[in-house]
Chain A
Amino acid sequence: MAYKVKLEIFEGPLDLLLYLVKQNHLEITQIPIAQVTDQYLKYLELMQALDLDIAGEFLVMAATLMQIKSRSLLPPDQLTPAELEEPDPAQELIQRLMEYSRFKEAAQWLSGMEQGRQIQFTRPSAGSAAGAPALEEEYVEASLFDLLTAFSQFMGSLTPEMVHEVIRDEFTVEGRIAALKELIQEKERVSLQELFSKAAGKLEVVATFLALLELIRQKAALVRQSQLFGEIWVIRNTGSVEVAG
């Protein structure tokens, strides 16, 4: 695939780990490192297979996880004195995750404040807080990892006939970007499931997925979920909201 989606991924390895913790209904303090490591590596592979521009931090974390996993397999008397003296990397990681998740809560709180503030209109010249329609349904923002999950689930559900792609190079990412843009212009919102199932084969699913990531990056499309891990909707960014950052 010639088209390289240069995603500015602001979500890092800690986000992925917290995502996995939630997905498995776990507590941070009781993470089964071996299981989570396998899942983490699967997502990493998927991102690499899609040729996404992965931050080096993801690889560093993969190494850390594997180190923790291999260490946990060793009986304690097999550890060298130097290793015993080091702080336990598993505990260190859990501390980091706990700290980060507290800041995520703080960010959530700020977001609630922001929403509340934006229905208190000031005089239109009054700058940043000047009003706009802030009426919207409840939603959860879909993260990159939600998208990757939906994508890999769909790929796994493809029938063998669909996987044997005969026509090559028919579906370029550029072409899918244009088609997807048109679709959301027309329909305002479309479910990710529907989008994938319209595809004629594996290659088109991949091209569609990369096109979606590109549109998100360009801020032409938004992705939302009706609930955590719920159905994902692709929505046209009407521009009534300036998405900052």
Chain B
Amino acid sequence: MSEADPKRILEALLFVSEKPLLAAQAQEVLGASFEVSQIRQLLTELSQEYAEGRRGLRILEVAEGFQLVTDPELAPFVSKLNRRVKTVRLTRPSLETLAVIAYRQPATRAEIEQIRGVDVSGVLETLLKLNFIRVSGRKEAVGRPILYSTTREFMEHFGLKSLEDLPSLEDLKGIVPPQPLPAPQPQNDTASTAQTD
């Protein structure tokens, strides 16, 4: 077993990982003789091989790790098989609150409310429940208010490699978010996906 090609081992680990595989986790498996940077390099190579190989799968760099996903172009087909699964779509108030936390973290509730101009306690509860934010401490100020930060699940949900992936607020005006390719659409029974407040 110790003779196995590390790249093949990594591929197997990606297949069984429920969450994005972190290089540090892979190191625990491969042993300390592999540097984390070396493992990242191998994972990146593997990801390129998948991208070039015309396979149905891709290796995505997300939430500081790597994850095996289906090629977005194949989404119409995959969703035909897989239609019972629910998607979590955040409402606009949740997205806005998350945006404030992501850019200003750690942030207190009062700071978020100052920006959004409306009570956010209900929204914070939902975001905590979804694990997209966490309590990261208390601010050294009057009343020692709770501080909130985003989590790795947040990055995973939005497909961010790391927090550095967030565009700067000044640059945002006019940036069109990377839209998925319009894939061939087999008619599915109108999944009304939308959000509302």
Interface residues of A (CB under 8 A from B): 8-15, 55, 57, 61, 96, 99-100, 102-136, 139, 141-144, 188-189, 216, 219, 221-224, 235-245
Contact = CB atoms under 8 A, between A and B. Distances in A.
A111 B75 CA distance: 18
B98 A107 contact: yes
A141 B194 contact: yes
A122 B180 CA distance: 16
Interface residues of B, number: 75
Contact of B191 (A110, A144, A238): A238
A14 to B, nearest CB: 4
A149 to B, nearest CB: 15
A118 B87 contact: yes
8 contacts: A10-B92, A102-B169, A104-B99, A120-B60, A120-B75, A121-B78, A122-B70, A241-B89
B67 interface: yes
A8 B127 CA distance: 16
Interface of B: 18-19, 58, 60, 67-72, 75-76, 78-79, 82-100, 102-103, 115-119, 122-123, 126-127, 130-131, 153, 156-160, 166-167, 169-170, 172-173, 175-180, 183, 185, 188, 190-197
B193 A133 contact: yes
A99 B89 contact: no
Nearest to A143: B197
B49 to A, nearest CB: 18
A238 B118 CA distance: 30
A123 to B, nearest CB: 7
Given A13-B117, A102-B172, A126-B18, A107 B92 contact: yes
Contacts of B83: 132-133, 240
A189 B194 CA distance: 13
Closest 10 CB pairs of A and B: A112-B177, A12-B118, A245-B94, A10-B93, A117-B159, A119-B75, A14-B117, A107-B95, A106-B99, A120-B69
Nearest to B70: A121
A55 B116 CA distance: 13
